[in-house]
Amino acid sequence: MPLCNVGEKMPRLLQPILSPSIKTAIRPFFSLLSLMVLLGCSYTSVAQSENVFLHPKKFYKKYLPNLRIKKDPLDTLYIKTYPNYLSVGMHVLSPSLRMNIAPRGTQSGALNLRTNIADIIGFSASYRFVSAGFAMLLKSGIRTHDDYAKSRYRTATIKYSGGANSFQFKYLRFKGLTDVNTLNRLDLTVPYIKRTDVMNKEFQFEGLRNISWRKYSYTGPLTFSQRQLKSRMGFLFKAGVYYSQLSSDTTLINTLQAQHYDDDFRNIKIIRTLSIKLAPGMGGNLVFLKNYYFSLVAFPSYDLYLYKMLEDKDDKVKGNQTFAFILEGKTSVGYQSRRFYGGLRYEIETRNAALKTIQYNGLYTYLGLEFGYRFNTPKVVKKFYKETMPPGM
């Protein structure tokens, strides 16, 4: 998509998930955005010979001359940083991804979706403020549900981790689920209903404020670019925007289930949601025997859900709004030294929302091992980082 068309198409991209009233309210914002993009394109056309977008230093100097990332002075008695090391890690996790859809007030005809994912393997790298990672399905893992539909899984994450503020973008996708509610079977000779056409896709962008950033390291047990030296607790605040789409080639429910649902859901193939989160949280790192740690973080929240249910991806239907209870938690126990780190990690996220005539419940859990090593950063990495990052990073 050409850059000069971004401003024009932005409202169209959001149209599937925003109600008419909300689109009317934000239309002036996108009109201003369109004007800014068009002016920027015009200016870039004049100065195209400079190619500033291919040279980050020239870009920052020309368009953001006053930009400079301010370093947060941490309390070095509590937190140790490793600015000259490149942290490279690997994790092997066993996920449990569950989604349940049922009519409001009853479990009759409930759609209970599960994956047959046994293990995923992921790799990450962190240098100074920036970390990135990805994970994929480990095909050699021990599968406990061979009678489920074959699942596929992938995710990618990029983070900016400052002392006080952190930002993260995450992409998650898995396809191939199984309805384990045996009462929904049309064919009684099979144990479950394999839904190889069902796919869930998510885009997440969130920012976090660590109120106790001087002495409490939130990112230490996550990216390992920091290390907690003394036990400490801290208050946190998270804000984010999350887009998700649950879809299938056929209707989400079959003809046997349809008798339990209202008419407006029986032919639904796609559920799209855009959620907005404002969540207080609390975390803590317990350090014992000098190099060992126990970490715990929790975020409860009521997220604003803007959603649409579609029979076809191109349908134009009115959006709806509701609030959903979300609970996120992470805990880990492990070992850290100057170079080596490793431990056991557990993550959980629950989602509970009443969407029009149905009730949605989601449960994602991850349990597994992680370990890594801090290497002396290669000169080529230092040079690339210095040439591409804003001043001060």
Q: What domains are defined for the chain?
A: 3-63 (no CATH), 79-388 (2.40.128.100)
- Which pLDDT tens digit goes with each residue over 333-356? 999 999 999 999 999 999 999 998
pLDDT score recorded for residue 53? 52
CB 318 within 8 A of CB 19: yes
pTM of this prediction?
Answer: 0.81
Q: Which tens digits make up the pLDDT trace of 360-388? A: 999 999 999 999 999 999 999 888 888 88
Q: Say yes or no to pLDDT of 295 above 90.
A: yes
Alpha carbon distance, N-terminus to C-terminus of the chain: 31
Q: What is the mean pLDDT of residues 53-80?
A: 73
The pLDDT tens digits for 149-175 are 999 999 999 999 887 899 999 999 999
Contact predicate 302/324, CB 8 Å = yes
| Contacts for 346-351: CB closer than 8 Å, 24+ residues apart | 350/325, 350/326, 351/324, 351/325, 351/326
Beta-carbon count within 10 A of 338 CB: 11
Most confident segment among 8-22, 28-42, 244-258: 244-258
Average pLDDT taken over every residue of the chain: 85
Cα pseudo-dihedral 126, 74, 210, 350, rounded to 10: 40
What mean pLDDT do residues 67-86 have? 84
Q: What is the DSSP string of 311-334?
A: SSTT-----EEEEEEEEEEEEEEE
For residue 129, what are the contacts with CB-CB under 8 A and spacing of at least 6? 69, 160, 161, 162, 225, 389, 393
Maximum distance among all alpha carbons in the chain? Answer: 69
Main-chain phi, psi angles of 354, to 5 degrees? -100, 110
